[in-house]
Amino acid sequence: MKSSHIYWYSYFGLGHKPSALQYFISPDLSKLGEAFVEGHIRVEGSIHDVFRIAESLARSAAASARDGILKFARHTRSHDRKAIEYHYDVSNDFYSLFLDRNMVYSCAYYRTDADTLEQAQDQKLDHILGKLMLKKDERLLDIGCGWGALVIRAAKKFGANATGITLSKNQFALAQERIKAAGLEGRCKVELRDYRDVEGSFDKISSVGMFEHVGVKNLPVYFNKIRSLLSDGGLVLNHGITAANPDNRWVGLGAGEFIDRYVFPQGELPHLATVTREMSLAGLEVTDVESLRRHYAKTCGEWADRLDAQCERAVMLAGDKRVRIWQVYLAGCAYGFAQGWMNIYQLLARKDGAGVNPLPMTRDYMYRA
């Protein structure tokens, strides 16, 4: 333990801030992350390397205690809108510093280690739309559409009639600009709308990196709403982060509390078993499950490196504290996914009881060029 502390202090300088000492009394990742964000400690080595040391400290402190959070977050329309605005309405220019050219803010899909982030994100979009067997003129709904990359791809490459919804005003504005610039206004649109307020019927539904904001208690509402929007023979793909522990909706060692406070207010991670159960109870037959955990570790690592390389510009756009939040968050996610602290799954499902199953007998179709 002594050598770990010496190694730790070689990366973190306390300087003239004695208040930093409080963060080393029963330290966890929330305390250490807070100390970094608030400027009480500083990183002199790689942010990726520091997480291994932070984990060692946190595990030592937690050796005699069981980690767990028993609270439920409130998920009203107002609370959800404010949480989304807090995270996503930082600055479109800020996000462009570390995302790919299409600003896809979710796990990429690497076919080889040599794939660039841009290639991997395009492959992820096509992997989702391919799994959904999206066809020309079909109606696609993308729940939590971000800056519009998936709906634009669906309309431009697959010829679908695509609708995206988001609660972020910044995302909504830029997505509209991009749709217009691509000349896709007749086939593609984005609406500033809560998923609970969507009406209509859709052949295919995607939800990418959104259901973490729904809340565990609201999963029945979420999946029942999706089923009500699916046409007979329709398919849905839910792509989202899940907890590693069935009894804990938060990342352990205090990381969950840090994320809740600084990054994703009210975010909750259901376990895969909970997700498949709630989908089944809502009348959605789960037909395919794929883990992308290693892909997300690589994606977050790439984002963290890109943000570090653009640190000065990022501070100008978002402020020093916000940049420190994202530095520790992205590097922490890269480390957490690599270590298996959380997972991410794509779950493909059909509308149960509809009488029509459009899926082939095997999943070979997902990998055809």
Q: Tally the C-alpha atoms within 13 A of residue 121's C-alpha that lie toward its C-beta.
A: 20
Coil, strand or helix: which one is 38? coil
- The DSSP output letter for 41 is S
Neighbours of 185 (CB within 10 A): 11
Going by C-alpha positions, the residue among 150, 107, 106, 100 that lies closest to residue 130 is 150
- Give whole-number Cα distances, 75 to 13, 200, 208, 221, 251, in Å: 40, 23, 19, 11, 20
The string of DSSP codes covering 138-150 is -EEEEES-TTSHH
Given 107, 188, 300, 333, the catalytic residue: 333
Which residues are CB-neighbours of 334 under 8 A, at least 6 positions away?
48, 297, 298, 300, 301, 303, 304
Residue 209 to residues 196, 206, 367, Cα–Cα distance (Å): 17, 10, 22
Closest by CA position to 326, among listed 108, 137, 166, 88: 88
Q: What is the spatial distance between Cα 22 and Cα 146, in angstroms, rounded to a whole number? A: 39
Residue 292 · residue 128 · CB < 8 Å: no
Any catalytic annotation for residue 333?
yes
Token digits for 77? 């329309």
Angle of CA points 52, 320, 306, to nearest 5°: 55
Residues known to be catalytic: 333
